[in-house]
Structure formats: C-alpha cells, structure tokens
C-alpha cells in the first residue's frame, strides 16, 4: 500500500479507470457478439442494426483509448466484410464533398508606417 498522498490518489484513480475501461471493453465485445449472432440468424435488418451498434461501440472504445485506433479500424473492416459476404448492402454514409471555395480576397489596408 502506498504511503505518499499522491500515490494513494493514483491508486484510486487507476481503480476507477480500470472499472470504466472494463465496462467499455465489455460493451464492445457484447456488441460484436450480437452482430455475429445476427449474422447466424440471417435477417438483413437485424444484421444492419447490430453492425451499427458494434461499430459505435468500437468507436467509443477507440476514442477512450481502451483499444488502439488501428485495432478499431481493423475490427470495423472485419464487420463490414462479414456483413457484405452475408449479402447486406449498407447505405453509404453521407460524405461531404469539398466544394471549390471562391477566392474572394479582402481589400488590403495599408497600415501607416511609424517613423
């Protein structure tokens, strides 16, 4: 057991973080399992709904640094591949197209020189 006050606090903080991270990881694993069960059932609506939930849970875990961002990307790609092989066509997400910006320059104002 730590003696120094800051070390005692770190133990408390680490314990809270451990519980929070375990909960996030558990939710992510349950979402991925429900997706695989939906794949087994074969209903398109259930698969799509489960995939959205699993991707959301994976994104949250990556945002909280429970899992690495590359692992999150890999998992999401695996889910998408599995859904695609099951014959599910997901609607494409709305991607904003970069509109050409009109280059309107403001008139330059010359500052008076200080001499």
Does residue 104 lie in a domain region? no
Does residue 36 lie in a domain region? yes
Q: Show pLDDT as tens, one digit a residue, over the chain (115 residues).
A: 899 999 999 999 999 999 999 999 999 999 999 999 999 988 888 999 999 999 999 999 999 999 999 999 999 999 999 999 887 776 565 445 655 666 677 777 777 777 6
Does residue 68 lie in a domain region? yes
Prediction pTM value: 0.72
Residue 79, domain CATH = 1.20.58.110
Does residue 106 lie in a domain region? no
Paired tokens of 112: 């008076």
Does residue 102 lie in a domain region? no
Does residue 91 lie in a domain region? no
Does residue 114 lie in a domain region? no
Count structural domains, the chain.
Answer: 1
The Cα diameter of the chain in Å comes to 82
CA dist., res. 31 & res. 52, Å (int): 9
């Amino acid at each position: 057991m730590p003696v120094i006050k800051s070390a005692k606090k770190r133990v408390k903080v680490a314990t809270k973080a451990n519980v929070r991270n375990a909960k996030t990881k558990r939710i992510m694993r349950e979402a991925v399992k429900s997706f695989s069960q939906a794949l087994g059932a074969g209903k398109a609506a259930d698969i799509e709904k489960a995939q959205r939930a699993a991707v959301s849970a994976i994104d949250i875990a990556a945002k909280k640094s429970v899992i690495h961002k590359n692992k999150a990307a890999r998992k999401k790609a695996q889910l998408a591949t599995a859904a695609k092989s099951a014959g599910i066509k997901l609607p494409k997400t709305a991607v904003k197209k970069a509109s050409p910006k009109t280059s309107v320059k403001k008139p330059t104002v010359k500052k008076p020189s200080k001499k």
